[in-house]
A and B are shown apart, each in its own frame.
Chain A
């Protein structure tokens, strides 16, 4: 089992954060782009025992707040709140099913970005442009949900995750 608060995982989150700042904005499909750090939080919720998405989200949120341009603290709150819900929700789902993971990723992205959008409206309410932002939010959530099919197996290989099966999963 991976502890999120271990040096390799913290370094990995930092590495993904640098990718999000420098490379992923250049690889876009329409307005959709990959957000590796968010994908990693979803991965931690589904792949690692012990509900580790929340500490991962807190760490990712703090990093994103410090190098983003949203109001400081908004990413941390949005990510942590969504991750608590995702941690709870992932325990109740078939965690090996790719469509379930994709759907959970979609809702995680949509809820986190919606919270960021709501909180960012405090900083510049006069220029909200909500419909355009919601359209981008939807595209980003959809694209990243589709990417879980590629990203999760890669991460699984990288971390050499042999996810412990639950007793009921042994009798499938």
Chain B
């Protein structure tokens, strides 16, 4: 490749960025539009990844059946594939039932969605959902699972949307400790742990307390479970405490979520 051609490539690669820096608002619209186009591929990939994770979950089970397979290979093989399908269906049934129970617990409006993709940047913790504005998803809707809060809707396309998870470094949620009622801010840091920041040193917050949304901002309604305090340490400045919070939701196993328009806990 001659040197001139290289410069053409570099110049061409800078053009989109220069254009976007001039019109920053266009980025989410373009990305959501292209994600809508990618939706069939993402759905296919998601189904494949679902089977892939199930394979790992049942690896031990498969190993045991493999021994029996030596005696009756043909029969066990047939049963094994049937069992796999059955267990997947049962698991999905249980998950959806749990979601349905949760949905019926509050009177507000909500939309169930399936996770079909994940963000490409390693430190971003965002997921692509298979529902968009057509199905009633709106920006900033809280995203929950039966265990508790997982994030909120960041961008909405016509048939897909993108949610930012609590573990994303840009995520901030106002929260309070359930017993001591100490207020703080739940922030992500790109790993699976959450940080409970800016806690008053005199608030009497203890390890093991549950953490709930405080409802201070309009984004998240009050009282949604977030996690439990695992540890407490003093800030660098010594003025506040920072808690390490273990989320009640498992972010690496997100498959179906509920996007809620209004939340009224019982």
Partner-B contacts on A (CB < 8 A): 18-23, 25-26, 28, 30-33, 35, 50-52, 54-55, 58, 61-62, 64-77, 79-81, 84, 87, 113, 116-117, 119-120, 122-124, 127, 129, 132-133, 135-137, 140
B219 smallest CB distance to A (angstroms): 15
A-B contact pairs, 6 of them (CB 8 A): A21-B118, A32-B122, A35-B122, A69-B31, A71-B17, A73-B13
Compute how far the CA of A30 lies from the CA of B12 in the bound complex, rounded to whole angstroms.
36
* B1, B45, B122, B126: the one within 8 Å of A69 (CB): B126
Check: B245 CB closer than 8 A to any chain A CB.
no
Determine whether the beta carbon of B21 is less than 8 Å from that of A68: no
> What total of chain B residues lie within 8 Å of the partner, measured CB to CB?
52
A90 smallest CB distance to B (angstroms): 12
Compute how far the CA of A59 lies from the CA of B10 in the bound complex, rounded to whole angstroms.
12
Q: Mark B1-29, 1 if CB is under 8 A from A, else 0.
A: 10000100110111111111100101100
Compute how far the CA of A153 lies from the CA of B189 in the bound complex, rounded to whole angstroms.
35
Q: Which residue of A lies closest to B49 (CB)?
A: A23
Check: B123 CB closer than 8 A to any chain A CB.
yes
SS of B interface (majority): helix
Compute how far the CA of A79 lies from the CA of B16 in the bound complex, rounded to whole angstroms.
13
Partner-A contacts on B (CB < 8 A): 1, 6, 9-10, 12-21, 24, 26-27, 30-31, 34-35, 38, 41-42, 44-46, 48-49, 52-53, 116-124, 126, 128, 154-155, 162, 169-170, 172, 189-191, 252
A112 smallest CB distance to B (angstroms): 11
Compute how far the CA of A68 lies from the CA of B128 in the bound complex, rounded to whole angstroms.
10
* A69, A87, A124: the one within 8 Å of B121 (CB): A69
Determine whether the beta carbon of A71 is less than 8 Å from that of B27: yes
Q: Which residue of A lies closest to B15 (CB)?
A: A73
* A21, A61, A65, A113: the one within 8 Å of B122 (CB): A113
Compute how far the CA of A133 lies from the CA of B167 in the bound complex, rounded to whole angstroms.
12
Determine whether the beta carbon of A69 is less than 8 Å from that of B123: no
Determine whether the beta carbon of B122 is less than 8 Å from that of A22: no
Determine whether the beta carbon of B42 is less than 8 Å from that of A18: yes
Compute how far the CA of A20 lies from the CA of B120 in the bound complex, rounded to whole angstroms.
7
With A21-B45, A21-B120, A31-B191: A73-B31 Cβ-Cβ less than 8 Å: no
B19 smallest CB distance to A (angstroms): 7
Tell me which residues across on chain A come within 8 A of B15, comparing CB atoms.
Answer: 73
A57 smallest CB distance to B (angstroms): 8
Compute how far the CA of A168 lies from the CA of B61 in the bound complex, rounded to whole angstroms.
54
Compute how far the CA of A58 lies from the CA of B1 in the bound complex, rounded to whole angstroms.
15
A161 smallest CB distance to B (angstroms): 19
For the A-B complex with A61-B13, A72-B30 known, give 15 more contacts whose Cβ atoms are closer than 8 Å: A18-B41, A21-B45, A22-B49, A23-B52, A25-B119, A26-B52, A26-B118, A54-B1, A66-B34, A68-B120, A71-B27, A73-B17, A87-B1, A129-B123, A136-B123
Quick one: which of A61, A64, A73, A75 has the most chain B CB within 10 A? A73
Determine whether the beta carbon of B13 is less than 8 Å from that of A23: no
Q: Which residue of A lies closest to B23 (CB)?
A: A72
Compute how far the CA of A26 lies from the CA of B26 in the bound complex, rounded to whole angstroms.
30
B104 smallest CB distance to A (angstroms): 30
* A54, A74, A122: the one within 8 Å of B9 (CB): A54
Quick one: which of A19, A31, A52, A135 has the most chain B CB within 10 A? A31
Determine whether the beta carbon of B1 is less than 8 Å from that of A51: yes
Determine whether the beta carbon of B190 is less than 8 Å from that of A136: yes
Determine whether the beta carbon of B9 is less than 8 Å from that of A80: yes
With A21-B128, A67-B38, A119-B17: A84-B119 Cβ-Cβ less than 8 Å: no
Determine whether the beta carbon of B17 is less than 8 Å from that of A74: yes
Q: Which residue of B lies closest to A74 (CB)?
A: B17
Determine whether the beta carbon of B34 is less than 8 Å from that of A67: yes
